[in-house]
Homo-oligomer: A and B are copies of this chain.
Amino acid sequence: MRGELSLEQKLEAMLTVALEPISAEELADVVDAEAAVVRQTLADLRAEFLEQRRGFQVVELASGWVMQSSPDVAAWVTKFANRDVSHRLSSAALESLAIIAYRQPVSRAQISALRGVNVDGVVRLLEQRGYIEELGRAPGPGQPILYGTTESFLDRMGLATLNDLPPIEEFMPPIETANELAEEIAERFDDSEVS
Q: Which residues of A contact B (CB under 8 A)?
A: 2, 5-6, 8-20, 22, 26, 29-31, 53-56, 67-70, 72-73, 76-77, 79-84, 90, 112, 116-118, 120-121, 124-125, 128-130
Bound complex: CA of A18 vs CA of B76, how far in Å? 12
**A10 close to B73 (CB less than 8 A):** yes
Residues of B within 8 A of A82 (CB): 120
**B83 close to A30 (CB less than 8 A):** yes
Bound complex: CA of A20 vs CA of B120, how far in Å? 11
Closest B residue to A73 by CB, please name it: B13
Residues of B within 8 A of A30 (CB): 76, 79-80, 83
Bound complex: CA of A20 vs CA of B124, how far in Å? 11
Min Cβ gap A144→B in Å is: 11
Residues of B within 8 A of A20 (CB): 90, 121, 125
Given contact pairs A8-B55, A14-B69, A84-B112, a sample of 8 additional A-B residue pairs in the complex whose CB atoms are under 8 Å apart: A9-B55, A10-B76, A13-B55, A13-B77, A14-B80, A19-B125, A30-B76, A83-B118
Bound complex: CA of A117 vs CA of B121, how far in Å? 20
Bound complex: CA of A81 vs CA of B12, how far in Å? 13
